[in-house]
A and B are shown apart, each in its own frame.
Chain A
Amino acid sequence: MSFSGPTNYRRESAKAIRDKPEVRDSVTAATRTFDAHRVHAWGQIDADRWRDWARDVKTHVLTHLDQYLEQAERQLTSNGTRVHWAESADDALTILGEIVREDGVESAVKAKSMLSEELGVNRHLEGLGVHVRETDLGEYIIQLLDEPPSHIVGPAIHRSVDDCRKLFHERLGTPLDADPDELADAARDALRAEFLAADLGISGGNFLAADSGTIALIENEGNIRLSTSLPRVHVAFVGIEKLVPRLEDVSAFLQLTSRAATGQPIGNFVSLIQGPRRSDEVDGPEEVHVVLVDNGRTRLLADEAAWEALRCVRCGACLNICPVYRQTGGHPYGWTYSGPIGAIIAPGMLGLEEALPLPHASSLCGACVDVCPVRIPIPELLVHWREKAVEQGLTPKVETVGLKAYTKMAQRPGLFSAAGAVLRHVPLGLGGRALPVLGGWMQERSAPKSSPKSFLQMWKEGIE
C-alpha cells in the first residue's frame, strides 16, 4: 500500500483521533514502553558524552560526504560487491529490475527497510512478476493487512493482539483464540519456506563503513541474517547519508542506536557484511549489490539548516516521545517517515509545498531534543521550515497578515489594550467560530472566562 502524501495531515489525523481511539491507545502504550527502555539503557551509560561524539562523527561524514562515498565504493568493489548509484526512486527500481532480469529472480524475501518503503520496492517487484514476502514479523503483519508502516522500529504498533489473531486465523488458519506463541509459530513456519525458496534477499543498511566496505544491519528476529545469507543474490539499498568513516566507529553507533531504539545494549542479531561468499565459505550469497540512493538527500544536504537532519540513525526515539505522533501513529503523516524526523526531512526531500503542513504538526514542546542520539535540533528545524514557508508564500495570508497586524498593535500599547478589551467583552461562544484562530480553539474547548478588567487596569487602580 502506498502513501497518500502529507498534504492531508490535518484531515487524516482528525479522522484517526475521532474514529480510531484504539490506535491512539496502542501507539501510546507501545511508544511509552520503548521510551522507558531507552531511559533505562541510557541511564547505564554516559549518554551525553556518547551523543556528542555521535553527532560529531555524523557531522564530519556529512561535511566530507563525497570523499567517503568514493572510499566506500572502492572498498565495496574490492570486496566483490557490485555498487550502483541511484539518483531517484525510479532509478533505484530500474537497477533492481535489471538485477531481477539478469539473475532470473522469481521470488524475494525482504528484511525491514524504510528506504525500500520510500522507494516503493514491493509494488515494483510485484509488477515485474516477482513474489515478494516481508519477513520482519511486524512488516509481515502489515503486508497481509495491506497497510503502510506506522512507526520506524515497530511497523505494526497500531495493531493489537486481537487484530493479529483475526488476521492469522484468516490467512494462516490459526484458531481465533491462539496465544501469541502459537501465532508466532505459524508465522515462522510460513516464512521459513519463503526464506529457503527465495532467489533474492533485499535489505536496507543501518550503517555503511567506508574503510572496510561493511554494511551493518541491526535486528532482533534474525530475519535480516536469513534474508542476506540464504538467497543467492542480496541487494542492499543504502541512503547516501548512512556512511560512517570506520568500522570501529560502527561499533559505537550499533550500541547507541540499539539503546535509543529499544533499550538494548545491542540488537540480538547484527550483520556485518563485507561482500559475497568467498571461495572458502560453504554458504552465503553469490552476488551482493549495494545501491547508493540519493532520492532527495542531496537536496536536503544543500539546505543551510536542515542538512543536520541527515545525521538521523532511524532509531525512532523521537517518535516514541512525541506527544503529537502518539495521538495518531504514523499513517496521517502520509509518508514513509513520520513523527518529528519525518516533519523535518520531508520538506527537503519532497519539497516544502508537498511536505506542508508537517512542519506545523508540532507544539514545539522540545521533548525530542532530550532523546535524539545524534542531537538533531528538531524544534529549530521545524521553525526553519515554517520560516521558509512564509518566505515562499506558502503560509495562508490570514496568518501572515494577521501576525503582522498583531505586531503593529504590540508596538502600540494603547491599541493593544483596546484590542484586549474587545476580546474580553465579545461573547466568544457566539462570535468565536467565525474568527479564523478562534474557530479552531472553540471547536474543542470551552471559551475562556474573561476577566472584566485587564491586569494593567487593575494595576492602575491599585492592587492591595
Chain B
Amino acid sequence: MTARERILGRVREALRERDPVEHPGAFEGWRPRTPRSPVDGLVHLLDAAGGEVVHQPNLDAATSWLATFCGGFDSSAVGESVPAALRPPIPTASPDIAPLGVSVARGAVAETGSLIMDARDGRRAQLLVPTHVVFLRVEHVYATLREALLDMADDLPSAIGLHSGPSKSADIGQILVKGVHGPGRLVAVLIGGDE
C-alpha cells in the first residue's frame, strides 16, 4: 500500500460513522452597506489600500498620460500583453533592474479592490519593479470575486495574481512599511467610462 492509499484509508475510516453534510451552495458575496458601482467600489478600495487611481477616457489620453508619467523614469519593464499604444516611450530593461513596470490587467474586482494579473503578461515585470503601472478597461471590472473567477475558469494560466495595493508589512514593531518585497507604488489607470 502506498502512502496515498494509507492516508485515504485513514480518512475513510475516520468518516465511517460520520454523517455527511451537504454543500450549502453558492455564496454570492456580501451585501455592502453603501452600494457603489463596480468602478467606484474598485477605486474606493484601491485608494484605501494605498494604491493610486487615474482615470483616462480613452486610449489616446492614456498614451499621453503615460508619456508624462515616464518622465521620472529612465527605463521600464513591459508586460507581454501591453499593446503598442501603451508601451512607455523610454528604453526597456529587465524587470530585476527596471525602476518601472507597465502591465495590462486582465480585469479587476470591485468587492475586494483587486487588479487581476495574468501570468501570460509576465510575472517578473509585475513583481520586481518598485513602481507598477497597471492599465485596465472599465468594462473589465467585475462586481464580485466569484463572478471574476467563474468567468475565467475555462482560461486559467499557470498563475493569477490578485494585486490589491502596494506591498506592505507591519512586521517591524507593528509599524507600516512599504515596498518589501513587491512594488511599493501601485498605479491603476482605468481607461474608458463616459466618453
Contacts and interface: CB of A to CB of B under 8 A. Distances in A.
A30 interface: yes
* B3, B30, B126, B175: most-surrounded residue (chain A CB, <10 A): B30
A222 B129 CA distance: 11
Interface string B1-13: 0111011101111
Given A56-B24, A245-B23, A265 B45 contact: yes
A255 B181 contact: no
B57 interface: no
A299 B3 CA distance: 15
B179 A66 contact: no
A223 B181 contact: yes
Interface residues of B, number: 78
B19 A284 contact: no
B145 A269 contact: no
A272 B162 contact: yes
Interface in A390-443: none
**6 shortest interchain CB distances as A-B pairs:** A222-B182, A161-B173, A138-B171, A184-B177, A298-B10, A302-B14
Interface stretch (B62-70, B85-93, B152-160, B187-195): B152-160
Given A156-B171, A283-B122, A298 B14 contact: yes
A339 interface: no
Given A66-B8, A184-B180, A270-B161, A221 B174 contact: no
Contact of B175 (A46, A161, A221, A277): A161
B164 A268 contact: yes
B157 A274 contact: yes
B43 interface: no
Contacts of A195: 181
Interface string B66-96: 0000000000000010000000000000001
B146 A251 contact: yes
Nearest to B50: A268
B174 A135 contact: no
A376 interface: no
Contacts of B35: none
16 contacts: A30-B174, A46-B31, A60-B21, A87-B6, A164-B172, A180-B173, A196-B96, A220-B168, A226-B127, A248-B26, A268-B164, A272-B160, A278-B120, A278-B158, A298-B14, A302-B13
Interface of B: 2-4, 6-8, 10-15, 17-24, 26-27, 29-33, 45, 49, 80, 96, 111-114, 119-120, 122-124, 126-128, 144-146, 148-150, 153, 156-183
Contacts of B169: 137-138, 184, 220-221
Contacts of B24: 52-53, 56-57, 60
A389 interface: no
Contacts of B128: 192, 226
Contact of B124 (A59, A63, A283): A283
B7 A154 contact: no
Interface in A242-268: 245, 247-252, 254-255, 264-268
Contacts of A277: 119, 158
A252 B119 contact: no
A267 B164 contact: yes
Nearest to A229: B123
B182 A252 contact: no
B27 A249 contact: yes
A265 B112 contact: yes
A228 B119 CA distance: 12
B167 A220 contact: yes
A44 B41 CA distance: 14
Contact of A271 (B14, B30, B113, B159): B159
A268 B160 CA distance: 13
Contacts of A154: 170-171, 174
Contact of B22 (A60, A69, A191, A250): A60
Nearest to B173: A161
A255 B112 contact: yes
